[in-house]
Amino acid sequence: MRAFSTLFIAAAFALSANAASVNKRAISAPVQLCIDSISSAGAQLEVVNTAVLAFTSSAGIGGANKIHTLEQELETRLKKAGVDCCVDVGTITLPEADAVLDTVQVLVPKVTDALSAITSKKSQFDAIFLATTIVKTDIKALDAQTKTLDACLIAKTPTDPPSYLETANGYVTEINNAFAAARSAYGI
């Protein structure tokens, strides 16, 4: 009986490991690269958001430039994600779509939080000569990069079942609304 239990446990572990490798193989290398690039942009977005939340006008133009430098790295990562995600890999599978949408789902609140932080700090940026101009430029650049990435993701999202496209469009709408609020707050 004991040998049977040990054998059963070993078999369960083997099946678990095999299922994990099959699941990992369900994501093609190009789609995994896209996911990794989106995740990288999300990590940099957190860095930018932390800097924005800590920012006060007492940091001066140097503090505003520091945030701008962090934003430029975010912009670079978004461009890379756009390139990596917009590669023509043909039709993506439903497991790949699930993986991409799961990654985007994690990113959406980070985007909305960061844009909300930028909006809430407007008076702090306004208090520094040229800082608001820098922020406006950054918002426009990030919005443009995000729209490029959004367009690629929507184009590659499976339409059957329709829930995939509905989910993707919901995420895009949420991000677009956050950018619209930031643009409005800064008079862009």
pLDDT digits (tens, 9 = 90+) for 133-166: 999 999 999 999 999 999 988 988 988 899 999 9
pLDDT digits (tens, 9 = 90+) for 17-76: 333 333 555 899 999 999 999 999 999 999 999 999 999 999 999 999 999 999 999 999
pLDDT at 92: 85
What is the end-to-end Cα distance of the chain in Å, rounded? 73
Q: 109 lies in a domain?
A: yes
**Mean pLDDT within 80-85:** 93
For residue 79, the enclosing domain spans 29-185
Q: 2 lies in a domain?
A: no
Instruction: Give the pLDDT band (50/70/90) at residue 13.
Output: very low
The DSSP-derived string for 109-141 is HHHHHHHHHHHHTHHHHHTSTTHHHHHHHHHHH
Q: 142 lies in a domain?
A: yes
Distances (CA, A) of 97 to 7, 30, 148: 37, 12, 18
Q: 18 lies in a domain?
A: no
> How many domains, the chain?
1
Q: 9 lies in a domain?
A: no
Q: 106 lies in a domain?
A: yes
Q: 127 lies in a domain?
A: yes
As a whole number of angstroms, the distance between CA 134 and CA 63 comes to 12
CB 48 within 8 A of CB 74: yes
Q: 21 lies in a domain?
A: no
CB 34 within 8 A of CB 96: no
